Amino acid sequence: MARSFIPRFLLLVALVVVAANAETLPLKRAVELAVQHSSTMAASHADEQRAFATYMEERNQYLPQLSVGSGLGPPTLGYPLTLEGIAPSLVNINASSAVFNLGLQEFIRAARTEYVESQVQTKDQREQVIQDTVLSYAELCKWQSVSGYASREYDAALKAEQAVNERVQQGVDSALARNQARLVTARIYLRISQAQGSIDVLRRRLAQLTGLPAESIEADADSIPKLPEVKQEENLQQTAEASLPVEIADLRAHAFELRAKGEHRAMWPTFDFAGQFAYFAKYTGYQDYFQKGSFQAENGSVGVVIKFPFFNLSQRSHAKIADADAQHARHDVETTKAKVSEQTLRLQRSVDQLGAAQQVSELEYEIAKSTLDATQVKAQSGGATWHDEEDARVQASEKFGVLQDANFELQRARIQLLRATGGIGDWAGVGGSQSLVVSH
């Protein structure tokens, strides 16, 4: 008995310490914190900022790019040459910008589409974080329920073990009965240990998502909203084909098509604005190579640079590569649609199957529980033995664990289906996230 008392005492101490440090965390609050603190969301926002900077980089080529410098050097020997394309001067100011460039226009549209894609990607990542948080929270509720039930069963098993020890000492039962009682207690303790291990892991996972200390997280099953009913005759595949993954694939394909179009138009004529001002110093020797009186220190020019890239085989090949990438991306859209549609249909059918399995588990547990209650009444009146009562208790405990597993599997399938059809944010109480569109 002393050997059984030690693990029981340690278990009760651990449960008391955890209960004292933990506080109830509603699901909605957990999801809100996860969306704010998730490293996945932070990385997705960084990708969004990068896409916007790329878009502005392309767009700003229509704005003048100014540079100020000089080409200072010692007096020249002979005719004064330029230094890296800049005439020897005290001050040199250059300005240039695109004026007419059909290829650049397509590249700007492609960059803008990629920015919108990054925003939709952020929304998709947000819903993934919500799903991960909800599933971890629901699983934590499951293991908390298992742990609470097993803890109550453990107390009953310890009392039964003590009673068997007394019966063995009195010669009523054999040593085999004592070992059987100890086996029941050990199995329940194993279940408690497994439940507590899973609880610790899930609390750590939720702590990483929400930024809260793991030991302070206590799930509340009542805070989980009721999941919408799934009708098997409803065609959810059409809704899934308009989901975020499909939208992302379509935007990516459109961006590839615009870039391919831009590569083709890069072979069209371009018009660029260019201007330059330079202040020459006399020591460079410019005045010695021009007629007397024609030299002046201040010089400037403004004009339009026109290019006709009528023969560029390398660019043509580059455009064909872009065409192949665009075709590949467009086929990826159809593949994504088929994959999402198949996954949604599989989840929809699995909800029906898991619902049936859950009903079977619930009925089996109710029967086992009723059998246990009836056996306890018979045992009190002498109509059943202790062994009959313990067997009924073990059966009820096992059926309870199976029922909790079935409940969670059904809950997980319904949550995943809700994620696939785009309604998980509203269901969790945090709403959707609207994508921004960049104006021209």
Q: Beta-carbon neighbour count of residue 269 at 10 Å? A: 12
pLDDT value for 12: 47
Distance, CA of 118 to CA of 252 (rounded, Å): 9
Q: pLDDT-derived band of residue 128, with 50, 70 and 90 as boundaries?
A: very high
Residues 354 and 410 sit within 8 Å (Cβ to Cβ): yes
Query: In whole angstroms, what separates CA 156 from the centre of its chain?
Result: 44
Average pLDDT over residues 379-406: 86
Q: pLDDT-derived band of residue 184, with 50, 70 and 90 as boundaries?
A: confident
Average pLDDT over residues 96-115: 94
* Residue 25 bridge partners (DSSP): 219
Read off the pTM: 0.83
pLDDT value for 440: 37
**Residues in CB range of 42: below 8 A, 6 or more apart:** none
Secondary structure class of 23 (helix, strand, coil): strand
Q: pLDDT-derived band of residue 308, with 50, 70 and 90 as boundaries?
A: confident
The 10s digit of each residue's pLDDT in 72-105 is 766 666 666 777 777 778 888 889 999 999 999 9
Q: Is the pLDDT of residue 239 over 80?
A: no
Q: Is the pLDDT of residue 249 over 50?
A: yes
State the angle between helix axes of 313-381 and 386-420 in degrees (0 to 180), rounded to the nearest 10.
160
pLDDT value for 85: 72
For the chain, the helix, strand and coil percentages under 3-state DSSP, each to the nearest 5: 70, 10, 20
Pick the most confident of 339-343, 352-356, 423-427.
352-356
Percentage of residues in the chain having pLDDT higher than 70:
88
Distance, CA of 243 to CA of 241 (rounded, Å): 5
Residues 404 and 142 sit within 8 Å (Cβ to Cβ): yes
Q: How far is CA 392 from CA 126, 192, 384, 386, in A?
A: 47, 19, 11, 10
Percentage of residues in the chain having pLDDT higher than 90:
50
Q: Is the pLDDT of residue 292 over 70?
A: no
Considering only 42-46, 96-100, 220-224, 308-312, which range has the smallest mean pLDDT?
308-312
Q: pLDDT-derived band of residue 141, with 50, 70 and 90 as boundaries?
A: very high
Output the furthest CA–CA distance in the chain (Å, rounded): 134
pLDDT value for 22: 59
pLDDT value for 285: 67
pLDDT value for 411: 95
Q: Is the pLDDT of residue 8 over 60?
A: no
Average pLDDT over residues 191-206: 94
Considering only 124-138, 160-174, 200-214, 390-404, which range has the smallest mean pLDDT?
160-174
pLDDT value for 92: 86
Going by the DSSP 8-state scheme, the letter that residue 289 receives in this structure is G
Q: How far is CA 315 from CA 235, 255, 278, 388, 398, in A?
A: 47, 19, 35, 86, 70
